[in-house]
């Protein structure tokens, strides 16, 4: 039962994957292999317009879209799921500079520690519900 619950969570995570993760991996792959968008789209089994939509406008992509990429390229699923891209590219330079300061680092570390604690507590509650 616990494995089914974890598998369901993994599927839900993949179904909600932010499109920028897939878009970033696709563009890196395309540029490293000197491919056009049209050629890569065809290789994956998509129309060029769909490829362009993912790169420019999509907010999220579904599991089928991700699996098509994994099946028709040598981009590992783990790379797509963990892709960070340029995390600070959309932020003002002043904010990025502050985040790199001792005060900013402390705030980030505190927030991230709280996130990890909340996530661990959530998983404990879910696991206890499965057991009960």
Residues 117 and 105 in one domain: yes
Residues 28 and 58 in one domain: yes
Residues 70 and 9 in one domain: yes
Q: Look-up: residue for tokens 């340029």?
A: 86
Buried b / exposed e along 29-58 (16+ C-beta atoms within 10 A): bbeeeebeeeebbeebebeeeebeebbeeb
Residue 49 has pLDDT above 90, yes or no: yes
Residues 93 and 114 in one domain: yes
Q: Which tens digits make up the pLDDT trace of 8-25?
A: 444 444 456 788 889 999
Residue 73 has pLDDT above 80, yes or no: yes
Q: Which tens digits make up the pLDDT trace of 24-40?
A: 999 999 999 999 999 99
Residues 5 and 46 in one domain: yes
Residues 17 and 54 in one domain: yes
Report the candidate in 3, 13, 6 with the shortest Cα–Cα distance to residue 80: 13
Mean pLDDT of 71-86: 83
Which domain does 91 fall in, by range? 87-132
Residues 19 and 81 in one domain: yes
Q: How confident is the model at residue 88 (pLDDT cuts 50, 70, 90)?
A: low
């Amino acid at each position: 039962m616990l494995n089914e619950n974890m598998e369901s969570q993994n599927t839900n995570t993949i179904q909600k994957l932010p499109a920028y993760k897939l878009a970033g991996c696709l563009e890196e792959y395309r540029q490293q292999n000197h491919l056009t968008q049209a050629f890569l789209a065809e290789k994956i089994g998509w129309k060029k317009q769909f490829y362009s939509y993912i790169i420019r406008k999509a907010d999220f992509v579904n599991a089928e879209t991700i699996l098509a990429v994994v099946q028709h390229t040598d981009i590992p699923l783990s790379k797509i799921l963990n892709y960070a891209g340029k995390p600070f590219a959309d932020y003002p330079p002043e904010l990025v500079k502050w985040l790199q300061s001792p005060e900013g680092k402390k705030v980030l570390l505190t927030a991230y520690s709280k996130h990890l604690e909340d996530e661990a507590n959530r998983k404990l509650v879910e696991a206890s519900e499965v057991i009960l």
